[in-house]
Structure 1
């Protein structure tokens, strides 16, 4: 039977301060962004926005337990097939579901199909009593000129995410809108994953959307002006060519070989554990 025994806090979210001894469960589902790529490395460990959100949540509930099932390279259908069942088994109070960017970059992208996978996860998790949060996606064409044709896909998917979220009472952090989200300083050198600062902003956006006490809209504020002058057109062209050779080329090579960056990888935090560093 679905359960919903939790008290509700601001904006209908579960209470973030439930007193001593009341453990609270947060489970993150998704792909590389939720895994934390761009915030740390595979040698010393990845942090990422979901870890950072868990740390914020733990400040209000030190007994919080957190699992992260995300794996890089996963399509929305793969997230649903491989992560939804384990997530339900963990019986979360809060779940975040963020997927679809990998689908966007495939030749045969179908916004309705991707949104259907996301909605199925929204429906299953909310039916079992979890509060669910998700994101909308910035237009990567504003960062990567070669990706400008993807703009219509991003807008189509964001529209469907909002519609599906509305049908199931899912919280949406609108990270697609504020101009700051395309500041290059919020992105890692590959321009596909957030930088540590970008991951911190995403965590703050989700916390604000959930109504976490102490959160606000400061994540939307612009960064201070950069100390260096804007690059010349020649330097910009050189940077684009280096990016294509360093990141785009290997990505295309994996696609041609039918490979994924997540092949043979597993979730970094498949079990609920206490949060440290909060």
Structure 2
């Protein structure tokens, strides 16, 4: 069935989720916030003329890079790093539903999966209720995501694969609704490349955010600016000593603090407000 997103011109966009959607580890903007793939999508959509029946061809680079935002387009980003899907459902969904954005992106659940003892049935329930509430509020299109496959790049992540595959199947089932567009990151081997990830190995690099933005625009029926699935040029081989030094730095700077937060029940997003809490004109 043809997705309702194809050739639809959106005048409002609300982004929901955790650090993935907040944009962590992308370029830092003048206001101190990360840019992120959602901002890149907003910039591209903001250039589309109101009332157009076909989206314009991409210009001046992928995902809207280099374009000037047009009048009338509004954008909010309620995502906050560290949020679990239950928190996204309770804190972000009611606000987003009241905003009545035409386009909504919803990503969540991976923070739950990373925690021992994750109840995947509860994660699916909260994710499904969130998507239903957004559609009931009048959203024209809800974009959802499958996770990348961590087992192809992170040692010790094989235990996560059954749960990630179950979530993938659940999201794909939700995508049978023509109002829900699913971005399949799991099946894109380009995300096995460490260069698409920050040194913390959990958050996307600027190139990773650029590719996710293009994937979202493709799911919305926009003409391709580049092949976001294409592999990067081969990287020069790394010496064993360099790999060891990188692993030790990661253990001390990233994995250790992450484990510490889990043991104490803290989150990196505790007390942090969304970077765009209101649905306001976008002037990127």
Task: Judge same fold: TM > 0.5, yes or no.
Answer: yes
Structure with greater helix percent: 1
Once the 2 structures are TM-superposed, how far is the Cα of residue 168 of structure 1 from its aligned partner?
6.7
Establish whether residue 157 from structure 1 lines up as the match of residue 144 from structure 2.
Answer: no
Q: Is the 8 A contact 1:76 1:99 kept in 2?
A: yes
Match for residue 273 of structure 1 among 268, 280, 283: 280
Gaps of 5+ in 2: 50-69
Q: Distance in 1 between matches of 2:171 and 2:119?
A: 13
User: Which aligned pairs between 1:50-69 and structure 2 lie closer than 5 A?
Assistant: 50-61=38-49, 62=70, 63-69=72-78
Q: Distance in 2 between matches of 1:89 and 1:36?
A: 23
User: Which aligned pairs between 1:126-145 and structure 2 lie closer than 5 A?
Assistant: 126-130=135-139, 131-145=141-155
Q: Which moved more, 1:105-114 or 1:256-265?
A: 105-114
Match for residue 258 of structure 2 among 248, 251, 255: 251
Match for residue 182 of structure 2 among 172, 190, 198: 172
Question: In the alignment, which residue of structure 2 is the partner of 1:44?
Answer: 32
Question: In the alignment, which residue of structure 1 is the partner of 2:56?
Answer: none
Once the 2 structures are TM-superposed, how far is the Cα of residue 258 of structure 1 from its aligned partner?
1.0
Once the 2 structures are TM-superposed, how far is the Cα of residue 217 of structure 1 from its aligned partner?
6.5
Q: Is the 8 A contact 1:208 1:217 kept in 2?
A: no
Q: Is the 8 A contact 2:6 2:221 kept in 1?
A: no
1:95–1:17 CA distance, 2 compared to 1 (3 A)? closer
Establish whether residue 31 from structure 1 lines up as the match of residue 18 from structure 2.
Answer: yes
Question: In the alignment, which residue of structure 2 is the partner of 1:7?
Answer: none
User: Structure with the greater relative contact order (CA < 8 A, sep ≥ 6): 1 or 2?
Assistant: 2
SS in 1 for 2:132: helix
Gaps of 5+ in 1: 1-9, 19-23
**Alignment length (residue pairs):** 260
SS in 1 for 2:80: coil
User: Which aligned pairs between 1:1-278 and structure 2 lie closer than 5 A?
Assistant: 11-13=3-5, 15-17=7-9, 24-41=11-28, 44-61=32-49, 62=70, 63-130=72-139, 131-167=141-177, 169-212=179-222, 214-215=223-224, 218-226=227-235, 228=236, 230-277=237-284
Once the 2 structures are TM-superposed, how far is the Cα of residue 129 of structure 1 from its aligned partner?
2.2
Q: Distance in 1 between matches of 2:106 and 2:261?
A: 25
Question: In the alignment, which residue of structure 1 is the partner of 2:54?
Answer: none
Given the two structures, how large is their TM-score scaled by the length of structure 1?
Answer: 0.87
SS in 2 for 1:60: coil
